[in-house]
Structure formats: structure tokens, C-alpha cells
Amino acid sequence: MKTFDAVIPYLKKGWKKIAVGLFVLVIVDAVQLIIPKIIQRTIDNFSQNDFTQADILKSSLFIVLLAAIIVVMRFVWRILIIGNSFTLEMGLREKFYKHLMTLSQNFFNFSKIGDLMAHATNDLNAVRMLFGMGFIAGADIILMATASFLFMITINVKLTLMAIIPLPLLSFMIGYFGSRLHRRFGKVQASFSTLSGMIQESISGIRVVKAFAQEDAELKKMQEYSNNFVKENIGMAKLSGFFHPSLAVIISFSTVIVLVFGGQAVIKGDITIGGFIAFFSYLGMLVWPMIAIGWIVDMYQRGSASLKRLNNIWETKPEIINEPETDFNINELQGSISFKNLNYKYPKSSDMIFENVTTSIDTGKTLAICGKTGSGKSTFIDLLCRVYNPPKNSIYIDNHELYTIPIEVLRKNIIMVPQDIFLFSDTVANNIALGNPSASIEEVHKAAKIAAVYDDIMEFKNGFDTVVGERGVTVSGGQKQRIAIARAILTNPKILILDDALSAVDTKTEKQILQNLLEARKNKTNIIIAHRISALNHADHIIALDKGTISEQGTHDELLQLNGLYNELYEKQKIEEKIGDVK
Ligand SMILES: Nc1ncnc2c1ncn2[C@@H]1O[C@H](COP(=O)(O)OP(=O)(O)OP(=O)(O)O)[C@@H](O)[C@H]1O
Ligand SMILES: [Mg+2]
């Protein structure tokens, strides 16, 4: 992908506005170029006897009129081209966000939120500046520089050639500083994303920060990153601070040359006074584009550096996609699942998580998974849901190899309540209806009842309309889990997975929820992961994961008889429960 490929479609879409804007810009420039000519003529006419006060007034009014035209026209091109650059930014932001949504969990595991936020703000800004102000100034520069140069030549060729002697030095300076500015801007951006990422993480983890009295340490860390950001910016400011004035110095050489040699020409009578004054005006018009070149180079460097960073994201391929073998005739799943000799290790890791794991569950049955922490329970279902891609030919649903099932069908038919639950800053009702926004409020209530959270919600100040999450009330860990379970139940999927989703509720409530759930989901497949045996014993089939394999599997009674890991956990938890009862 070439740096500018991504913006081309948006430029094509807005070409009419850009063309009209450029056309208006040409008119503005033409008008600006006429003004010195009028001044020249007026001054030179002073020496003629028939030039009256009225003529001077006429010329002055004409200049005022032209200035008014310039004001209106400038307004027009600003609206058209700058306006269009905002549309471009909007389009790119949408493209960025859309692409981000297609990327896998794996991508997010290895990305810093601060970086992604910097792309969505600073980088998009820089691109907009380049294609708004940068573009218009670029066009303006080329037009004005060429035209004023030509006008200067019409006044005096020799003087023009002398005036431009210092200009090659300009291009040298621009080339030299350009690449430095580019590199420096990269560093500024990187330090900004580190800083914003750190603040973001610190605020998200504020509980831990406070609990461990780490406020000062966090503040110190922030100051350090903030200092670094300032340091990089000062470096940038130093560079531009030297760059722009040095351009002005080079340009002042031109002014001196014109003053000395142009003055002599006037004395000798080679140029009229009007011509000399007009020449100065044109030199001014030639010079400001030269100064502005620095500014545009700067904008170009920032814009293209930002686009490169955005391109990196756009070039990241989504990993979880429909593969060539996907059979789009599959549009419904029943819910029987089988794992055949599943081997798995995470990308970028060398440890095998699973070796030769084989098990199955029929439609409408409940599979339970237990095992020590870190034994791979979450990974097991993440592979089934294709949060991560499993090896081919190792997982089957309804005898369809997993990769033959379209992703959309998989997502619609398998709903998981993950271990780390996330509620949006929205009402409880909307949070529950997330996967089924058209559900009636009665259905939402019913789901909440099955998840045994209805009474809790009714006790909130605004019931189901209570806002939870960042901007609303704080819900307890157990309430959060049950709201998430209600959310999953409402979608009524063919396969429902609870990944340790009952860990924060007491044993009695857990029992209640499981009873409700199995009752409501007769004939549908469930997978329940839990640490507590009490959550598992109703399952039709239980597997215990240990050291990358299924160490035991069977029904609750069968596993107890094995006298192994399962039995050990069961006995331990029975004692714990008894102690709990005594307390
Ligand atoms: N994205 C990942 N990349 C690399 N390794 C991972 C990743 N996620 C988990 N692991 C590793 O895989 C192993 C299994 O993790 P997993 O989360 O599946 O365990 P678990 O049985 O669900 O544990 P818990 O009971 O604590 O939830 C662990 O050793 C873990 O460190
Ligand atoms: Mg887990």
C-alpha cells in the first residue's frame, strides 16, 4: 500500500468541491496580482498632468473593491476545501474504526490503547491538515510564486534574476530540515501515545493504584512521561524555530539586493518609481510562498508520517475470517460439538496448551469443564468460538468442520459470558438487550429473572433504567455477572457458554441460576466452566483439564468413583462448605 492510497477514494469523491475551490483560489490570486499593477499605474500617472483627484479616488475604490472580492472568495475556498478536509477526516476515521472492529483479540492483546487513541486523534488531525490547509497553501504557493515571478520579469528581467539568487539556498534548507522534522514528529507522536496510554491505564486501574497507595508512584511515572513529551516537543519547536526564521533571513537577502540594484535602476531611469514599488510587492508575493514552503513541508511530513502509521493498521489483516472452505449454505447450527485430537499453542508462545484433546457433547446436553487455574479452560472455549483460530480439522459442530461454518453463523449461535465482564455506560435494560435490541421489556425482565438478578435490579433507584458503568451506579461483581448472564440468555443461542460466570455469586444463588437456566434451555447445548463442583454436578458430561490433556471425563458419579482430581476437589469443597455453614 502506497502512503496516499487510502485517501484517494475520498479525494475522488470530493473532487467537485476541490475543483471549484481551486478555481476560486485562482481568481483570488489573480486579483491579488492585479493590485500592484494598479498601484504602479496610479503612481506613474502622478507625473502626468491630466491625472486628477477623481482618478486617484477611482483607483483607490477599485482596490477596495478587489479586496472585498478577495475576502468573499477566500471565504468560499475555505469552506469548500477545508470543509472537504473534514469530510476526508470523517471518512478516514470511519475506515479506521471499521477496520479496528474486524481485528482479532490477538491484535488487541499486543496493542497499546494509547497508540490506538493517538491514531484516532492526532494522526487523523495531521492528515486533515495536510489535505486542507496544506493542500490549499501548496496550490497557492505554486500559483503565486510562478505568477509573481512572471510579473517581476515584465518589470525588469535583470533585477528579477538578481533577486532570486538567494533562493536555491532555500531549497537546501528545506531538504535538510524536512527529514529532521519528520523524524522528530515521529518521536513527538510516540511520546504522546505513551503518555496518554499511561494516564488511561492509571485511571482504569485507579482502584489498584489507591489500594496499594501508588498515587505518588503513578504521579512520578506520569511526570516522567510528561517531561519526555515536553522534551520532544521542545526539540520540535527548536527545529521549527530555527527553520522558519532562517528562511526569512535568506529571503531578506533578496530584499536587500532589490533595494540596492533596483534603486540604482530607478535613478538611472531604467524602471519607473511605480514599477519599483510594484516590483517590491511582487517580491513580497514571491517571498511569502517561499516562507510558507517550510510550513507546508512541515505539514506534509506530519501528514505523511501519520498516514504511514494509519496504513500500518489498515494493512493488519483480520485473522478471524471466513476461509476458502467456508460453506455459506450453513446458516443454522443445532449444537452438537466434538473436539478431535486438538493440539494448540498460542501464536508467539512455545508452550503447548493442549495435546490430543478429544471429547464431545450432543445437542441439548450440558458439558462442564473444571481444572486448575491456568489449565486452559478459557482457551478451550475461545478456540470453539474462534476468538483464536484452532488448528484445522480439530473442532466440529454438527459434524461441520469449524472452518466451514461462516463466522456470522458461529457468532449468532454461540454466545459466551466471558470471565472478564464488561458493561457499557448505559441502562441495565440496554445492557441486557445488547445482543437482541428488539427484545421487549418483558423478555428483558424474564431473562433477568432466569439469571436471578431481577430483584437486585428492581432495588436500583431507576430499576431497569438505571445507568451502570462509567457514568452510572456501581454494581457488585455478582450483579455484574448476573446481568451478563441475562444478556446471554436473552439471545437464546443454540450454544451457551458460561466461563466462570458464577464465581462471584454465593452457592445458593448459583444453584438457583443453574436450575433456571437448564429449565429454560432444555434441548439447547450449554457449556459451563466453574471452579466449584457444585456448579458442575448437573452436567451430562464433565471434563477435567490438567497439563494440556483431559485427565478425567464422565458424569459426576463416574468421576467421583475415579477417586482422582475431581474427587479431590469435591471433597475439599464439601469441607469448605461445611466450615462456611458453621460460621
Ligand atoms: N493470549 C494468550 N497468549 C499466550 N498465552 C496465553 C494467552 N491466554 C492464556 N494464555 C496461557 O494459556 C494458559 C491457559 O490459560 P487459560 O486462560 O485458558 O486458563 P484457565 O483454565 O481459563 O484459567 P482460569 O481458571 O484462571 O481462568 C495459561 O498458562 C495462560 O498463561
Ligand atoms: Mg479462564
Residue-wise DSSP of 186-237: HHHHHHHHHHHHHHHHHHHTHHHHHHTT-HHHHHHHHHHHHHHHHHHHHHHH
Same domain, 157 and 296: yes
- Please name the residue that has the C-alpha cell 499605474: 41
The β-bridge partners of 132 are none
* Residue of 343, 346, 536 to mutate, ligand 1, most atoms within 8 A of C-beta: 346
Same domain, 359 and 300: no
- Of 387, 396, 410, 403, the C-alpha closest to 358 is 396
Same domain, 347 and 209: no
The ligand with the least distance to the CA atom of 372 is 1
For helices 15-46 and 53-77, the axis angle rounded to 10 degrees is: 160
Q: Which three cell numbers stand for residue 69?
A: 472580492
For helices 477-491 and 441-450, the axis angle rounded to 10 degrees is: 120
Is the shortest distance between the CB of 529 and ligand 1 below 6 Å?
A: no
Q: What is the pLDDT of residue 576?
A: 78
Residue 464 in domain: no
Residue 309 in domain: yes
Coil, helix or strand for 9?
helix
Is the shortest distance between the CB of 375 and ligand 1 below 6 Å?
A: yes
The span from the CA of 100 to the CA of 77, in Å, is 34
Q: Which residue type, as a one-letter code, is found at position 107?
A: F
Gyration radius from the chain CA atoms: 36
Same domain, 96 and 196: yes
Q: Which residue type, as a one-letter code, is found at position 112?
A: K
Q: What is the pLDDT of residue 413?
A: 96
Q: What is the pLDDT of residue 207?
A: 87
Provide the CATH number for the domain around residue 572.
3.40.50.300
Same domain, 273 and 369: no
Same domain, 259 and 355: no
The span from the CA of 106 to the CA of 503, in Å, is 26
Is the shortest distance between the CB of 371 and ligand 1 below 6 Å?
A: yes
Q: How many angstroms is it from 37 CA to the middle of ligand 1?
A: 78
Is the shortest distance between the CB of 379 and ligand 1 below 6 Å?
A: yes
In terms of residues, how long is the chain? 583
Is the shortest distance between the CB of 179 and ligand 1 below 6 Å?
A: no
Question: Which residues have CB under 8 Å from 557's CB, separation 6+?
Answer: none
Is the shortest distance between the CB of 223 and ligand 1 below 6 Å?
A: no
- Please name the residue that has the C-alpha cell 517580491: 283
Is the shortest distance between the CB of 108 and ligand 1 below 6 Å?
A: no
Is the shortest distance between the CB of 346 and ligand 1 below 6 Å?
A: yes
The span from the CA of 575 to the CA of 562, in Å, is 19
Same domain, 247 and 348: no
Alpha helices in 258-369 (DSSP H): 263-268, 273-315
Domain final residue, candidates 268, 284, 315: 315
Same domain, 545 and 410: yes
Residue nearest to ligand 1 atom 6, measured at CA: 346
Residue 102 in domain: yes
Q: How many angstroms is it from 191 CA to the middle of ligand 2?
A: 34
For helices 273-315 and 15-46, the axis angle rounded to 10 degrees is: 160
Same domain, 309 and 349: no
pTM of the model: 0.82
Is the shortest distance between the CB of 481 and ligand 1 below 6 Å?
A: no
Q: What is the pLDDT of residue 570?
A: 87
Inter-residue contact 414 to 494 (CB < 8 Å): yes
- Of 475, 464, 378, the C-alpha closest to 418 is 378
Same domain, 361 and 285: no
Provide the CATH number for the domain around residue 170.
1.20.1560.10
Domain final residue, candidates 280, 315, 350: 315
Q: What is the DSSP letter of 176?
A: H
Is the shortest distance between the CB of 376 and ligand 1 below 6 Å?
A: yes
Residue 566 in domain: yes
Same domain, 558 and 527: yes
Concatenated DSSP letters for 515-567? Answer: HHHHHHTTTSEEEEE-SSGGGTTT-SEEEEEETTEEEEEE-HHHHHHHTSHHH
CA distances (Å), origin 367, targets 376, 554, 556, 561:
15, 10, 11, 19
Q: What is the pLDDT of residue 580?
A: 66
* Helix (H), strand (E) counts: the chain: 23, 10
Residue 252 in domain: yes
Residue 303 in domain: yes
- Please name the residue that has the C-alpha cell 460466570: 501
- Of 226, 202, 223, the C-alpha closest to 214 is 202
Which atom of ligand 1 lies at the shortest distance from residue 349's CA?
A: 4
Residue nearest to ligand 1 atom 28, measured at CA: 374
Residue 504 in domain: yes
Domain span holding position 386: 338-421+495-582
The span from the CA of 199 to the CA of 197, in Å, is 6
Residue 60 in domain: no
Same domain, 282 and 410: no
pLDDT tens for the chain, residues 1 to 583:
688 899 999 999 999 999 999 999 999 999 999 999 998 888 888 777 677 888 888 888 998 999 999 999 989 988 999 999 999 999 999 999 999 999 999 899 888 887 898 899 989 999 999 999 999 889 888 999 899 999 999 999 999 999 989 888 877 887 788 778 878 888 998 898 889 889 988 998 898 999 999 999 999 999 999 999 999 999 999 988 888 888 888 888 888 999 999 999 999 989 999 999 999 899 988 877 777 777 788 889 889 989 999 999 999 999 999 999 999 999 999 999 999 999 999 988 889 999 999 999 999 999 999 988 999 999 999 999 999 999 999 999 999 999 999 999 999 999 999 998 999 989 999 999 999 999 999 999 999 999 999 999 999 989 999 999 766 677 889 999 999 999 999 999 999 999 999 988 988 899 899 999 999 998 999 999 988 888 888 899 999 999 899 999 999 999 999 888 888 888 888 887 777 665 5
Total domains in the fold of the chain: 2
Q: How many angstroms is it from 422 CA to the middle of ligand 1?
A: 19
